[in-house]
Structure 1
C-alpha cells in the first residue's frame, strides 16, 4: 500500500534538503518512493509544483514506444494499433489522475505560508528506524498523511516533538 505524506518546511532550501535525503534513502533501499515532489508558495502566494520524476507517465510513454516498435518489427499493423489504443487509454487515465493529483497538491500548496515549501511523497515502504532519524533534524509540520493514526503520531513526534507533546494541531 502506498502512503502519501506531505510535510511543510519554513523555506525552500530546507524542503530541497529533505527531498534530497529522501532520494538518498530510496537509493539505499531504506525507503521505497513511488514519487516525491516539492511544492513552493512564493511571497505573492503563487503555488508551484517542482517534480523531476513521474514513473506512471514514464511507463505510459515507454509503453507507447515499445508498442509501436513491436508493430513495426513484426509487420503487424493490427497488433501495433491495438497496443497503441491500449496505451492511449492508459495515457488518458494517467492524465486524468495526474490532473486530480495536481489539483490536490496545489490545494495543499495554498495552505503553506508565503515563502515556504513542502515535500509531498508517495511512500510504498519504509524502514522507520532508518528513515525517521535522518529526516527528524529538518523539523517540519505535517500537512497531510494517509498513514494510520499510530504511524502519523510517530512521524509527527519525530519531525516536531514540541507540537506532539503539547497536542497542538499543525497546519
Structure 2
C-alpha cells in the first residue's frame, strides 16, 4: 500500500491549497503519490466534503471505494447507529494491517472538525528532508501515519514547533 499519512490544516481550505505543493513535489520526483484524497469541513457545515484525487495520481492505487469506505468509517458511521457501526467494524478489521485501526479513526475524527481540513496521502519513495520542509511551511500538522513508531517520531520531531518558549 505504501505510507499513509494524514495532514491536518487549521482552515477548511488548507488541504485543497496544499495540493499544488504535493503536485510540485511529485513533479520534482521528491515523492511518489500513489493515491490521495482530502476532506474539507467549512465551519457552517454539519458534515465534511470529501474528494478522491485520482486526477493527481492517475488511476489511483486504491480508488474511490477505498476512500469512500475510509471516510464513511471516520465521519459518517457514528451517525448511522450502532448496528450499522458493528457491521462496518467487522469489515474494517481488514484495514488494520495497513495502520488503519480504531486509534487511527478516533484520532482523525477528533482532530478534523468544522473549520479544518485534512490531506490523506498514500506515498512511496519520499525524500523526507525535501518534503517535510515545504509541508511544515504550510502550517500542516501530522495527525497520523502508518510508518513505524521510530519513523513517525522522526516525522513528528521535524514538525515540532521550534518557536515555542522553553520552560525552565
Q: Which range, TM-score by smaller chain?
A: 0.5 to 0.7
- Gap regions ≥5 residues in structure 1: 61-92, 167-171
Contact (CA 8 Å) 1:19, 1:38: kept in 2 or not? no
Which residue matches 2:47? 46
Secondary structure of the residue aligned to 1:23 is: helix
Which residue matches 2:23? 23
* Cα distance, 1:126–1:57 mapped onto 2, change above 3 Å: closer
1:70-99 per-residue CA deviation (whole Å, 9 max, x = no partner) reads: xxxxxxxxxxxxxxxxxxxxxxx9676454
Residues paired across the two proteins, number: 134
Contact (CA 8 Å) 2:35, 2:53: kept in 1 or not? no
How far apart are the structure 2 equivalents of 1:29 and 1:57?
Answer: 15
* Greater helix share, structure number: 1
Which residue matches 1:14? 14
How far apart are the structure 2 equivalents of 1:118 and 1:51?
Answer: 12
TM-score by length of 2: 0.63
How far apart are the structure 2 equivalents of 1:59 and 1:29?
Answer: 17
RMSD (CA atoms): 3.5
Once the two structures are superposed, the pairs formed by residues 1-171 of structure 1 within 5 Å of their partners are: 2-43=2-43, 44-53=45-54, 58=59, 97-104=66-73, 106=75, 108=108, 111-161=111-161
1:117-161 per-residue CA deviation (whole Å, 9 max, x = no partner) reads: 011100122011211112111222322210112221222223343
How far apart are the structure 2 equivalents of 1:59 and 1:9?
Answer: 23
1:30-84 per-residue CA deviation (whole Å, 9 max, x = no partner) reads: 0001112120122233111123316999479xxxxxxxxxxxxxxxxxxxxxxxx
Contact (CA 8 Å) 1:35, 1:54: kept in 2 or not? no
Contact (CA 8 Å) 2:33, 2:57: kept in 1 or not? no
Moved more, 127-136 or 9-18: 9-18
TM-score by length of 1: 0.62
